[in-house]
Amino acid sequence: MKKIGYVLILVSFFLLGFSFSTKVFSEEAVEMKIIKSSSGHNMIKVYGPSSLQQVYVEIFHKDTDLLAGVHVDYYVLEKLNGSERNVFLINTKYFGNRKDIIFKMFPGSAREEKFRLSDLEEIYVEDGQPNTMEQINGLNIMSFNIHHGKNKLGFYTLDHIGKLIIDHQIDIVGLQEVDKYVVRSKFEDQVKKIASETSMYYAFAPNMRLMGAEYGNAILSKYPIESYQNVKLPGFREKRGLLVSKIHVGDQTINFLVTHLGLTKEEKLNQFNVLRQYVEYFGEKTILVGDFNSRPDHEGIQQIKYQLIDAAADTEEYYQHTYDGIVIKNRIDYIFISPDMKATNYKVIDTNISDHLPVIASIEI
């Protein structure tokens, strides 16, 4: 009977849309470099193949004194010389100013790679200054809840999203309800697939994980994503998050935030409180997008508008619905910008790719 019970549990996981995944390490070569900024905030960058999804690094002083063991499973995709590489960031706080540092990395299940701090290539970066100094004055921004790549009738539509982004010449996209290795979405790494089709950088931040399957928010960007982190939002039902990133756009750095809020009044108000704190912290050059599950008259939306500008303000599409349910239709998806920016165009795209409609804004930065 116990065996039958175990089988039923496993079957239930698959029916719920979760899957196993063993593709977390890679046997391919990795590189390590140190990034030194003008402000002294240095980072170690680990470059691996696109198949590498996590690394474990042990940091030693003089090869014997273990200072820390660091497990990193968040990464940013970089495209170098036509090839995709996953980049993992490790804070130098683990070894401070010590010089004789040894890194033992375990990117594969049965191998070890060793790096010395003194041998690492050093890359110097001016804070807030990207590699390219081209002046860029405008951006096309999109927010889209892709409903794990299915429309409201349940048909799989992921293949249409990349074309939508290209057709509308989008520079930065915030996505919600993104799957990774889930049975309901054909076990695909959805954001990675869209990034490959659009030749964009990407970042993925799962808010739910179960047995190798992941679900959360994502960013696609024409411009390099310098860093990102996933902030867990308070709530007592489905786990929610705020994906916070810094993106180099020409000679500027943009704070780009993506979220998907809860459904109940209490948890939404608590989540809006967190959003406002981050918006206040970042200040200028901030864009906040997402599915807020809140209509324009919601208390939380009104509070956010004390800090940010609704890109749809003063447009004919202010009340245009963005949730396109079979029965219920509401405006719950938004693009907000800091007051130092200006929205020059806003529109809701009529499409049947998802149960939500993508919203697009042209922004002067």
| Residues written for the chain | 365
What does the pLDDT average to over 207-224? 93
Choose the weakest-confidence range: 20-29, 122-131, 189-198, 351-360.
20-29
Q: Are 270 and 234 in contact (CB under 8 A)?
A: yes
Is residue 267 classed as helix, strand or coil in its secondary structure? helix
What does the pLDDT average to over 10-32? 50
Between 270 and 29, where is the model more confident?
A: 270
CATH number for 138-364 (one of 3.60.10.10, 3.30.70.120, 3.40.50.2300, 1.10.10.10): it is 3.60.10.10
pLDDT at 109: 53
pLDDT at 94: 73
What does the pLDDT average to over 220-227? 91
Is residue 113 classed as helix, strand or coil in its secondary structure? strand
In this predicted structure, the answer to whether residue 139 has a pLDDT above a threshold of 90 is yes
Between 178 and 135, where is the model more confident?
A: 178
Q: Where are the domains of the chain?
A: 31-125, 138-364
pLDDT in tens, 22-54: 333 455 678 888 887 665 667 788 888 877 777
| Most distant CA pair in the chain, distance | 68
In this predicted structure, the answer to whether residue 356 has a pLDDT above a threshold of 90 is yes
CA 339-345-348 angle, 5° bins = 110
User: 31-125 maps to which CATH number?
Assistant: 2.60.40
In this predicted structure, the answer to whether residue 20 has a pLDDT above a threshold of 50 is no
pLDDT in tens, 243-263: 999 999 988 999 999 999 999
pLDDT at 114: 86
What does the pLDDT average to over 210-232? 91
Strands (DSSP E) along 50-187, which ranges? 55-61, 65-72, 76-80, 83-91, 101-108, 111-116, 121-125, 138-145, 172-180
Which backbone phi and psi does 18 adopt, to 5 degrees? -115, 155
pLDDT at 43: 78
Model pTM above 0.85: no
pLDDT at 21: 31
Is residue 272 classed as helix, strand or coil in its secondary structure? helix
Q: Which of 39-43, 83-87, 337-341 has the highest mean pLDDT?
A: 337-341
